[in-house]
Structure 1
Amino acid sequence: MRAITIGMVGIGQLGLPIATNLLAAGFRVVGYRRRDREAFVGLGGIALSSPAEVATEADFILTCLPSEDAQLDVMEGPQGLLAALRSGHTLIEMGTYERAFKERLAARIESKGARVLEAEVSGSPPLVLARKASLFLGGEPSLIEHCQPVLSAIADLQFRIGEFGSAVAMKLIANYLLTIHTLAAAEALNLGVRAGFSAEKVVEVIRQSAGGSTMFSVRAPMMASRSFQPAPGPLVTLEKYLEMAGALSADLGCASPLFSVAQSYFNRARELGMGEEDIAAVIKLIEADSHARPQSE
């Protein structure tokens, strides 16, 4: 029986740890990226010259691209994926885009006789590599079952959200909370330090208390050690999710007092040139906005 070949288009910051997990599971993985392919090849991946060539060799095709423009760029043209798709292909779309865009693209893919599953990744690249991220899936249960060998090699935690296009909303809800929790972690750590505790003591105690959260456990140690670069979650990459989550909330008429404040802090951090630092660096703004402690008489 021929081994399954998985094709990846987009083997950058998020795609590379996904490819790493697939290779570790024993799959043959071929991939396309315009540049910086050395890390992928070094892991055992096979770099190809075009998206079409990836489709020609692969049984499953994963696209993991940062924007709608980037997605269209690899889909269209004589060397694009659409030109090479055939009946029997399954495409797993892992980018975060507007639902309407995803649905239009899915119709074009299905017109070629291929099937497409939505798989939103919830978790930073290090969490993906450690298999602690989760997948939010949009598609028919039978298609999810068909993709299980691939999906299970990427992440243990998987949730079927609903039909194709539904998973992006859940991803935005997760990132909505991520921003709030990260800012809250910064506030709590700053409060603890100003109350006279070491940052390390605050991290040790709070992460194990009822007030702890995933983002406190991940980001508070980074805040305590001032480890903002290299950034597993750069501020610059958060901008798209903030805009999309804010638009979703506004479209649904939701009150969003906490998110609005968190969004303003992260936007301000980018404007101050902190874009390449991890989102944990938001603590620097919290510290700067804190008043001098009153002197005791």
Structure 2
Amino acid sequence: MSTPERPRVGIVGLGIMGSAYARNLREGGFDVVGFDVAPAAQAALAAMGGTVAASPGDVAAQADVILIALASVDALKAVCGGPEGLVHTIRPGVPVVEMSTFPLYAKDYCRDLFEAKGNPVLDCPVSGTGAQAAVRDLVLYASGEEAVVERLRPMFDGFARSTRYVGPFGSGTKLKFVANLLVTIHNLSTAEAVLMAHRSGLDLKMMFEAIRDGAGNSRMFEVRAPMMFEECYQPAGMKFEVYMKDLDLISDFARDMRVPTPLLAASIPFYVAALGAGRHADDTAGLYSVLKEMSAPRGE
């Protein structure tokens, strides 16, 4: 039974991130109703005790708050305003929380569509990988009406380590672009550092603990260096094929802001090389293997 502190949460999009939100919310005692086009995602939701909806509209008819976690703008438009979309059955006053990494015009589309129906809309992307999402180690950048954010904070606490109110609607997406700019560079710098340590004969576990304790540490080093040690990139917390969309968004936003991004520009070719090597579904920690293969001495 839903309460103000524990509303019935609707989730549209049960991929890597959406399924992690659902699992953590279920473990926290929240009722969850969700929809995804993939039968495996529907089965996973049912297995964790969630309710599988027949359509996005079915989610809207049942939920007290709706989280949207999708991979493309086309999917967002279909889910929100399509023939079986949320907009046709949502009750007035039910908040809509758009959590995907999309361009600002897509966020505005979502806000305009639902606010016309009397529903508050928040822009709330998260910082963190799928692996971090699984263990509730995400930072949520909440933007929009602050009173709505505060009302939903107990729910956000169910799947995020930290919820930061960052300003008016759209501020969350702008901050996510800034964060992902750093992630892009730190991920590649971690791959460079791990390969240098490997080639120099350092014990990698020792190196990890020493670097993590010093000035050279970064969150991406902590998350992805262990994956690089093992050269194991499945299951992916962030797939190369998905992250390429984020790289385009960051580049477009930086250009619009007239901000030079030389380190981002230098990093992108290595992400493209990963796709050329067939690493589409690998975690972006696979940059380590890309660098290793590109520079392999004879016999390595």
CA contact (8 A) 2:130 2:236 kept: no
1:25 maps onto 2:28 in alignment: yes
60, 63, 77: which one aligns with 1:55: 60
1:153 maps onto 2:162 in alignment: no
The separation in 1 between residues aligned to 2:259 and 2:122, in whole angstroms, is 29
Moved more, 2-11 or 26-35: 2-11
CA contact (8 A) 1:62 1:93 kept: yes
- Deviation, 1:158, is 1.4
**CA deviation digits over 1:90-117, x for unaligned, max 9?**
1111111111221122111011111111
**CA deviation digits over 1:182-216, x for unaligned, max 9?**
11011111111222213333223222221111111
CA contact (8 A) 2:153 2:163 kept: no
CA contact (8 A) 2:60 2:89 kept: yes
- Deviation, 1:171, is 0.7
State the AA in 2 paired with 1:190.
L
TM-score, normalised on structure 1?
Answer: 0.94
SS at the partner of 1:153? coil
The separation in 2 between residues aligned to 1:227 and 1:204, in whole angstroms, is 20
78, 82, 94: which one aligns with 1:77: 82
The separation in 1 between residues aligned to 2:144 and 2:68, in whole angstroms, is 16
1:118 maps onto 2:116 in alignment: no
**2:252 equivalent in structure 1:** 247
CA contact (8 A) 1:99 1:166 kept: no
TM-score, normalised on structure 2?
Answer: 0.93
The separation in 2 between residues aligned to 1:118 and 1:232, in whole angstroms, is 22
CA contact (8 A) 1:7 1:55 kept: yes
1:266 maps onto 2:271 in alignment: yes
Aligned residues: percent identity?
34
State the AA in 1 paired with 2:160.
A
1:129 maps onto 2:134 in alignment: yes
102, 105, 128: which one aligns with 2:107: 102
Greater Rg over alpha carbons, structure: 1
The separation in 2 between residues aligned to 1:2 and 1:272, in whole angstroms, is 48
**CA deviation digits over 1:2-23, x for unaligned, max 9?**
5431111111111000011111
CA contact (8 A) 2:2 2:31 kept: no
**1:64 equivalent in structure 2:** 69
CA contact (8 A) 2:80 2:110 kept: no
1:161-176 alignment, distance < 5 Å: 161-176=166-181
226, 231, 235: which one aligns with 2:236: 231
5+ residue gaps in structure 1? Answer: none
1:192 maps onto 2:227 in alignment: no
**2:283 equivalent in structure 1:** 278
SS at the partner of 2:11? strand
SS at the partner of 1:273? coil
SS at the partner of 1:14? helix
- The 3 A distance-change label for structure 1 pair 291 and 29 is closer
- The 3 A distance-change label for structure 1 pair 257 and 291 is farther
State the AA in 2 paired with 1:157.
S
CA contact (8 A) 1:89 1:114 kept: yes
The separation in 2 between residues aligned to 1:291 and 1:114, in whole angstroms, is 56
- The 3 A distance-change label for structure 1 pair 268 and 57 is same
**1:8 equivalent in structure 2:** 11
5+ residue gaps in structure 2? Answer: none
- Deviation, 1:281, is 1.1
- The 3 A distance-change label for structure 1 pair 101 and 231 is closer
State the AA in 1 paired with 2:10.
G
- The 3 A distance-change label for structure 1 pair 38 and 2 is closer
The separation in 2 between residues aligned to 1:34 and 1:190, in whole angstroms, is 40
SS at the partner of 2:66? strand
